[in-house]
Structure 1
């Protein structure tokens, strides 16, 4: 089975379309969206409606913290994030709010758990940035594979049962092996706002028969997205960071 896993689209139409085109060429058996459809970017209506269409067609989609902030309240966010949330709210219709509000915090499929932030209290939006956070996440579920986003930086943590996880930084477009003896926590990077100093969009392609996962990088027209951010009145930094992958 082959599964394409996308996270942190952040209302970036150009990145989303480029990634979906790349995904289409891979023809995976399942498509999973790990949340944060909205926030930061200039095309929330397009992205939410595209995601809703994909879900109608059989894709999985879970809720991210920016999705919750739009549907509920932007507590604990940075000034730029709050500004973008309020801007987004002014452009969405009731059907968009309803779609975001109804998204689940996690989904389980066979031996795979999908969650936006961490399996440890998904509603708290905890970041997995080190081995301690990874260990707590793995301890919170018995799934063999946990897939998440939220940090915008691709990473793999793996561990033998009862041992502390080990961190691995996957190479772009190079398959990373998945051991049958270990459990894995895979942070899939970001479609719409990469933060690993590479402006190309990122998604994960899992191949269960080959026992591997690949972080696929997809160049897109980030200059156009940055132009739209500036024209929309959103904070200029939200467009500038797309150019440098920050």
Structure 2
């Protein structure tokens, strides 16, 4: 099986379409969306409908923190970043139908596809939305994940970075930064934690969309970077005429 792992789409229609097309062209036969379907971007209803269609077709979708915010928007605060996120969540909530909000509200926080555990944040208390962004947290995530029978691999989103952690000969985890498009062997005799990056809002200075493709027949993992119509996605944000902050558009263009 070739499993396409897509996370943090953030209402970015153009990036999602590009990644799905790329994955299908490279032989993906199962799709998993790892949360944060919405938030920040201008096309939440489109993205949620695509997720609903994937579930109807037998594929896998789990929830993230921005999906929860869209169901029940957080109150704004006096702190700029938090108040902008709250503003975006409220706007997103208003764009979604009652059916789409119900879909988001009932998404599971984890799913298992074969021996692979999928979670938006850490498998250790997924509801706490903890970032898997260092070896210590990755080890705690892996410990929780491997309590599920047969699990040797756990894949997460949330951090908007593409990173792989693995257990070597010692007790701790080793961190590996992959090269896009280069297959990495991930044999199940070791244990692995991967963060698959963000489809709709990369934050590493490269505006191209991110996702990962896992081949479970040969146990190879390929982290992908996909060009898409960034200017169109940014223009759609600006077209909300201030309902979404202009900084959300700028973030797409610079990849930060």
TM-score band, normalised by the shorter chain?
Answer: over 0.9
Question: Paired residue for 1:163?
Answer: 171
CA-to-aligned-CA distance 1:75-110 (integer Å, 9 cap, x gap): 798222111101111111100111000100000122
With normalisation by structure 1, the TM-score equals 0.96
Q: Which of residues 163, 181, 188 is equivalent to 2:189?
A: 181
Instruction: Give secondary structure in 2 for the equivalent of 1:78.
Output: helix
Gaps of 5+ in 1: none
Question: Paired residue for 2:249?
Answer: 239
Question: Paired residue for 2:64?
Answer: 64
1:90 corresponds to 2:94: yes
Between the two proteins, the alignment pairs up a number of residues equal to: 246
Instruction: Give secondary structure in 2 for the equivalent of 1:140.
Output: helix
Q: What is the CA–CA distance in structure 2 between the aligned matches of 1:32 and 1:38, rounded to whole Å?
A: 15
Question: Paired residue for 1:130?
Answer: 134
Match runs of 1:2-151 below 5 Å: 2-74=2-74, 78-142=82-146, 143-151=151-159
Are 1:158 and 1:184, in contact at CA under 8 Å, matched by a contact in 2?
A: yes
Are 2:112 and 2:118, in contact at CA under 8 Å, matched by a contact in 1?
A: yes
Are 2:168 and 2:174, in contact at CA under 8 Å, matched by a contact in 1?
A: no
Are 1:3 and 1:29, in contact at CA under 8 Å, matched by a contact in 2?
A: yes
Q: What is the CA–CA distance in structure 1 between the aligned matches of 2:18 and 2:117, rounded to whole Å?
A: 26
Instruction: Give secondary structure in 1 for the equivalent of 2:161.
Output: coil
* 58-67 or 132-141, larger mean C-alpha shift: 132-141
Question: Paired residue for 1:220?
Answer: 228
Are 1:161 and 1:182, in contact at CA under 8 Å, matched by a contact in 2?
A: no
Are 1:38 and 1:44, in contact at CA under 8 Å, matched by a contact in 2?
A: yes
* 67-76 or 183-192, larger mean C-alpha shift: 67-76
Q: Which of residues 210, 223, 245 is equivalent to 2:218?
A: 210
Q: What is the CA–CA distance in structure 1 between the aligned matches of 2:8 and 2:167, rounded to whole Å?
A: 26
CA-to-aligned-CA distance 1:140-194 (integer Å, 9 cap, x gap): 1212000110001000000148711111011111111213431000100010001
Q: What is the CA–CA distance in structure 2 between the aligned matches of 1:35 and 1:210, rounded to whole Å?
A: 26
* 78-87 or 199-208, larger mean C-alpha shift: 78-87
1:199 corresponds to 2:203: no
Instruction: Give secondary structure in 1 for the equivalent of 2:252.
Output: helix
Q: What is the CA–CA distance in structure 1 between the aligned matches of 2:238 and 2:232, rounded to whole Å?
A: 10
With normalisation by structure 2, the TM-score equals 0.92
Alpha-carbon shift at residue 241 of structure 1 (Å): 0.8
Are 1:153 and 1:187, in contact at CA under 8 Å, matched by a contact in 2?
A: yes
CA-to-aligned-CA distance 1:97-141 (integer Å, 9 cap, x gap): 110001000001221100000101000000011111111111112
Q: What is the CA–CA distance in structure 1 between the aligned matches of 2:16 and 2:111, rounded to whole Å?
A: 22
Are 1:156 and 1:186, in contact at CA under 8 Å, matched by a contact in 2?
A: yes
Are 2:73 and 2:93, in contact at CA under 8 Å, matched by a contact in 1?
A: no
Instruction: Give secondary structure in 2 for the equivalent of 1:90.
Output: helix
Gaps of 5+ in 2: none
Alpha-carbon shift at residue 55 of structure 1 (Å): 1.0
